[in-house]
Amino acid sequence: MKKTVGIFAKNIRIASEFLDKITGEMLYKNVSRVSKTNYKHEVELTDGTVYKAILANESSRGVRLTDAYIHRDVETDYINNVIMAFILDDDDIESRITFFE
């Protein structure tokens, strides 16, 4: 199954900077595509994994993910009511969510 990883923050710049940090730690040959604008930042790896910076607000509903990184400033209600619904597989959901600062 292809992995889609969401990076959530209340400010898209914070999510995008974290995505830059993650991809900076990867080997260049493992990154096949980078799409970055003021409002969107996605990175696709050669194995098909896609990382997406996502603004943590109500308009981001409908995204389907296998894993998530969540900034510590994102409210618990949003995490429980919105982000948890994004995760495709409920098995061991806590192990597929990582918090960052």
pLDDT one-digit tens code per residue, 28-73 = 889 999 999 988 999 999 999 999 999 999 888 788 899 999 999 9
What the block records as the tokens of 96 is 């597929």
pLDDT of amino acid 62: 80
pLDDT one-digit tens code per residue, 1-19 = 689 999 999 999 999 999 9
Backbone torsions φ then ψ of 45, nearest 5 degrees: -95, 165
Backbone torsions φ then ψ of 18, nearest 5 degrees: -65, -40
Confidence of residue 86 (pLDDT cuts 50, 70, 90): confident
* 55-96-60 Cα angle (round to 5): 20
- The range of the structural domain enclosing residue 14 comes to 4-100
Overall domain count for the chain: 1
pLDDT of amino acid 82: 87
Confidence of residue 88 (pLDDT cuts 50, 70, 90): low
Backbone torsions φ then ψ of 2, nearest 5 degrees: -70, 135
Q: Tokens 């493992």, residue?
A: 30
Beta pairing partners, 44 = 33, 50
pTM greater than the 0.85 cutoff: yes
